[in-house]
């Protein structure tokens, strides 16, 4: 009797702990919406999302975040274009090609890269990449889309690489043996059997890498340049959404229109990362392989 009661108590304790994270997340989302939604009584959703001018401190102010959305998307997209080939190819090399000792070194270096604080990477972009870029390409500023994308790519590579690597490891050995036994070379085996079988995991890795890049704040705050305008070239400055929130939040009066607008940007960001996660989830289910020969 007492033992059973104990079991029940333990069960509920664990339930409460697991509930805690859901409750906290729920409260955060709730406050995000509570602070952000009132903006839309003054500014229409359309003007907010597609307005071309972000002048929150002018009189009258203008809250169009389209340039910020464009800034976020273009920086994320370019970072993905850089990080996906590097991350996936590194994962293939580590899991399929590299000899044991190189594998160990590479893995720990990539993990170290994941552990670098983003402010350190931002600093690197600011004082090393930016002046170099400015001089080499004769630009008005080195703090621009390309610079931010490179630094964001550096941050996304460990995510993409380590999740892709897990996916590659999970490909059953039987598939590889079958391929080799049919006279396939290593390259043929990788490209025609291993990669297709790991595709769902690799796609998930890419989506999660993108989610990480789009929400990243410190790097874009430091190296994207901060110009809230639609860029005309890849060497223009932009002001991605997280950078705007971080830069302006400290100077807005509590519950002013500007304050609410920043929360509304938070809602947009939240929806975007949620979308990336949902797509990642969908992709990983859709392309899920049925294991090896089931009997």
Partner 1 sequence: MDSDIIKLNKVNFYYGPTRALTDITMNFVKNKVTALIGPSGCGKSTLLRLLNRMNDLIDGTRVEGEILFEDKNIYASDVDSVEIRRKIGMVFQKPNPFPKTIYNNISYGPKLTGIGADNMDALVERSLRQAVLWDEVKDILNKSAMNLSGGQQQRLCIARALAMKPDVLLMDEPTSALDPISTAKIEELIEELKKDYTIIIVTHNMQQAARISDETAFFYIGNLVEYNKTEKIFTNPDVKQTEDYITGRFG
Dihedral angle, C-alpha 184, 190, 195, 198, nearest 10 °: 100
Which of positions 16-55 make contact with partner 1 (CB under 8 A)? none
In the complex, minimum distance from the CB of residue 208 to partner 1, in angstroms, rounded to a whole number? 23
Inter-residue contact 186 to 97 (CB < 8 Å): yes
In the complex, minimum distance from the CB of residue 274 to partner 1, in angstroms, rounded to a whole number? 30
Nearer to partner 1, 176 or 212 (CB): 176
Size of the site for partner 1 (CB under 8 A): 25
Nearer to partner 1, 57 or 292 (CB): 292
Which of positions 175-214 make contact with partner 1 (CB under 8 A)? 175-185, 188, 192-193, 196-197
Binding span for partner 1 by CB under 8 A among 51-59, 107-115, 171-179, 252-260: 171-179
Other beta carbons less than 10 A from residue 89's beta carbon = 12
* Structure token digits, residue 45: 């959703």
x/- mask, partner 1, residues 74-113, rule CB under 8 A, reads --------------------------x-------------
Inter-residue contact 113 to 187 (CB < 8 Å): no
User: Binding residue for partner 1 (CB under 8 A) from 174, 271, 275, 282?
Assistant: 174
> Helix H segments across 172-256?
173-181, 186-189, 195-215, 218-223, 241-248
| 295: contact with partner 1 by CB under 8 A | yes
Bond into 210 cis (ω within 30): no
In the complex, minimum distance from the CB of residue 287 to partner 1, in angstroms, rounded to a whole number? 10
Question: What is the per-residue DSSP string for 153-195?
Answer: HHHHHHHHHHHHHHHHHTS-HHHHHHHHHTT--HHHHIIIIIH
Inter-residue contact 258 to 248 (CB < 8 Å): yes
| 172: contact with partner 1 by CB under 8 A | yes
Query: Which residues make up the interface to partner 1 (CB under 8 A)?
Result: 100, 172, 174-185, 188, 192-193, 196-197, 289-290, 292-295
């Amino acid at each position: 009797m007492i033992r059973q009661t104990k079991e029940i108590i333990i069960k509920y304790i664990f339930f409460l702990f697991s509930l805690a994270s859901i409750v906290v997340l729920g409260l955060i989302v709730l406050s995000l919406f509570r602070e952000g939604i009132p903006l839309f009584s003054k500014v229409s959703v359309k003007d907010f999302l597609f307005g071309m001018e972000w002048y929150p401190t002018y009189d009258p102010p203008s809250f169009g975040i389209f340039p910020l959305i464009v800034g976020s998307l273009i920086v994320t997209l370019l970072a993905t274009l850089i990080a996906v080939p590097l991350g996936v190819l590194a994962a293939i090399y580590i899991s399929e090609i590299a000899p044991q000792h190189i594998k160990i070194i590479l893995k720990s270096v990539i993990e170290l890269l994941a552990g670098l604080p983003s402010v350190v990477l931002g600093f690197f972009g600011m004082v090393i990449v930016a002046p170099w870029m400015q001089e080499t390409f004769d630009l008005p500023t080195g703090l621009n889309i390309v610079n931010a994308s490179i630094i964001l790519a550096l941050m996304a590579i460990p995510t993409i690489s380590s999740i892709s690597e897990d996916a590659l490891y999970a490909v059953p050995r039987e598939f590889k043996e079958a391929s080799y036994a049919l006279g396939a070379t290593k390259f043929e085996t990788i490209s025609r059997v291993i990669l297709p079988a790991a595709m769902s995991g690799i796609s998930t890795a890419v989506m999660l890498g993108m989610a990480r890049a789009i929400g990243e704040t410190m790097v874009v705050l430091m190296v994207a340049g901060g110009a809230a305008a639609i860029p005309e070239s890849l060497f223009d400055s932009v002001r991605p959404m997280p950078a705007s929130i971080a830069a302006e939040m400290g100077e807005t009066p509590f519950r002013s229109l500007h304050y609410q607008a920043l929360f509304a940007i938070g809602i947009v960001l939240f929806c975007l990362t949620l979308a990336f996660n949902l797509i990642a989830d969908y992709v990983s289910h859709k392309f899920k392989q049925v294991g090896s020969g089931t009997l």
